[in-house]
Amino acid sequence: MTQSTTFAVHIPDADLEPEPLDPSQILDGAPEVSGKVLWQSEDGRRIRGIWQITPGVVTDTEADELFVVIEGRATIEVDSGPALTVGPGDLCVLREGDRTTWTVHETLRKAYEITLP
């Protein structure tokens, strides 16, 4: 859903839609992903939304993203970079092209903004 006006959303209660993972991304467990786009720029380069993942271990190649964890906990290992432990209230920035491994300890829900090239 894309909003064209000013709005507020209570993130913990927001209804999300399933976003199936590519099975090749799953390293352990049976994590499930869901999300919701709340706003997208007219050119499609900026996206704001909510994303959630259940416990497990997955790999990803990141976009330029800023997010704030609302609930849950995870360790995000960046290839050739830091291991970030995130939980409620933490703000995280991922760089475009970062190859990551997410170990999700507790279902994690975040609010994000992505900037595409």
pLDDT tens figures, 13-60: 999 999 999 999 999 999 999 999 999 999 999 999 999 999 999 999
pTM of full prediction above 0.85? yes
In tens, the pLDDT along 83-115 reads 999 999 999 999 999 999 999 999 999 999 999
Q: Which helix (H) or strand (E) holds 72?
A: strand 64-78
Token pair in block for residue 37: 């786009």
d(Cα 28, Cα 81) in Å, to the nearest integer? 22
The full set of domains in the chain, from first to last, is 11-115 (2.60.120.10)
Contacts of 58 (CB under 8 A, 6+ apart): 21, 25, 26, 27, 31, 101, 102, 104
Q: How far apart are CA 8 and CA 16, in angstroms?
A: 16
DSSP structural state of residue 25 = G
